[in-house]
Amino acid sequence: MSSTSSRTALHQRTVRHTPAQPVQPLSAAMDSASRLLSETAHDLRTPLFAIRESARLVNDGYLGPTTEEQRSCLQGIFEQCEEMDQLVVDMLSLEQVRSGVPRVHRRWLDPQEIVRSVHATATAAMTPRQLSLVWDQNDPMPEVYADSSKTIRLLLNLIGNAAQVLTAGAQVLVRIERVESLGTLRFCVIDQGPGMDRASIQQLAQRGFSGTGGKGLGLAISRQMAALHFSELQVSSRRGAGTRVAFELPSAGPVSVADAWVRWRARFSNAPKTTPRRAAGATQLRLDPPTLPRSKQLQGMETVSLLHDGAPPRNSQCAVAVCLRLGSTVATDTADALQRRLQDNMRMYELAFRTGVRRWVLLLDADTQQARQRLDDMQTQLTTDLPTARMTWSETLELPIGSRATRASVRDLLIRGSLETPAAMPASDYHALRTRAAAPAVSEVASRRLDAELRRLTTRIYQQRDRLKQQANTLQR
């Protein structure tokens, strides 16, 4: 497969402003404030640790006996230190995401893993305030493609925001529901608090607005955590009717991940689209993103969709796909280590999707020329870190953002896991089969995904057949 021609990065054209526009100084001020927050967060960690450990020494009696009143005061210090520590973590996380290097580790996981962790942590914080946490979910739920720790943090942030506006005896509802049309699982955090009027809802769209009345980073960090999963953060509210905040995670196999990534990238591009290079004759479709952020009326509530408010994609009109394969004799521990390093190397708007034990598809925010340099640097670093990893890279495929053909190409890549015809069985595996040694291990996860995809396709075929029969019967009449 031949390499595609290079393309000039176009984001430089889209971010150009005239001096008369007020957006430029505001954006620059927010960037400066964000950097200052990051530096301050690092500086706060050392004295915060010293305060907490000194208080612990006093509480444990190393400096003499303490009274009940003193221990109560020390407990207050511990609680404030924990809250401050979490604020520092949020500040660092916010700057990390806005800088474009989020270090997100997505994988397929059971949603109950998230539910159990969130419930234990949130309940411990809400019970002293006489608040309750209620879950509305259908069992069993499909696996979701997410970063476990960041999804847990996102839900805890949203639940904490909701709890701040409630009085004793109230409850926070977390509803988990399937969105069949998108192949996602939607998480909704709902409260019956005072709600917000239209002006307050619109204010949430402003960059840097926390939505927490000055306590914590609130929605500022939550919208970034949602963005790491290629999801907007949808906020619906009405004065006197409470607030609903929702985000979605891919839950229908590789196809849902492909669709989520394609939709997400299209949100940040409104340039004319063309057919992907090396993709065979596909119908062109222009996908113009909505104005950012979006606002609409939903069931009597004012709704705003909050997207990532950090740096835009480096290439608003195109991305590059490349496949990586490890040799069949490479140890699984090495493959797992490579998985972590690949995900650490991904920037905002990028994806390193593991299609098998030793196979990956990378979707990069770059044109072909940029991707070549990036891959050369990445390969050099990976070879240094993992000298036993025998890596094979495919040719690159340039993908115009927003095209229906691009959607089909990304779907195909994530399902098949390669830009080329699969290679023949390795000699080592062939010899093992001939000598009746143990057969190569079969990935149960991959098998389940393939079965789910086959069932989905079978259902669609039957539905199409039934529609054709109905149309035929109508014509015969």
Whether the CB-CB separation of 290 and 391 falls below 8 Å is answered with no
Q: What span, in angstroms and rounded, lies between the C-alpha atoms of 60 and 427?
A: 64
Q: Identify the burial level of 6 via C-beta atoms within 10 angstroms of its C-beta, where 0-12 means exposed, 13-18 middle and 19 or more buried.
A: middle
Sequence-ordered list of residues with C-beta below 8 angstroms from that of 7, at least 6 positions apart, any chain: 315, 317, 318, 367, 368, 369, 398
445 Cα distance to chain centroid: 20
Q: Which of 152, 33, 170 is nearest to 86 (CA)?
A: 152
- Longest CA pairwise span in the chain (Å): 96
Whether the CB-CB separation of 206 and 156 falls below 8 Å is answered with no
Per-residue pLDDT of the chain (477 residues; tens, 9 = 90+): 444 433 333 333 333 333 334 444 444 554 555 556 556 665 676 777 778 788 888 888 888 888 888 888 888 787 777 767 766 666 666 666 665 567 889 999 999 999 999 999 899 889 988 999 999 998 789 999 999 989 998 999 899 889 988 988 999 999 999 999 999 999 999 998 898 888 888 777 665 555 544 444 567 788 888 999 999 999 998 888 899 999 999 999 999 999 999 999 998 875 444 444 443 333 332 233 333 344 444 456 788 888 877 778 888 899 999 999 999 889 999 999 999 999 999 988 999 999 999 999 999 999 999 999 999 999 999 999 999 889 999 999 999 998 888 999 999 999 886 444 444 444 444 344 334 344 444 455 556 666 677 777 777 787 777 878 787 777 776
Domain 104-252: homologous superfamily in CATH: Histidine kinase-like ATPase, C-terminal domain (3.30.565.10)
DSSP for 21-51 reads -THHHHHHHHHHHHHHHHHHHHHHHHHHHHH
Angle between helices 332-345 and 368-385 (to 10 degrees): 140
Identify the CATH number of the domain defined by range 318-446. Answer: 3.30.70.270
Q: What span, in angstroms and rounded, lies between the C-alpha atoms of 173 and 150?
A: 20
Tell me the torsion sign for CA atoms 233, 130, 152, 456.
Answer: negative
Residue-range domain boundaries for the chain = 25-98, 104-252, 318-446
The token duo for 431 is: 């010899």
Domain 25-98 in CATH 1.10.287: yes
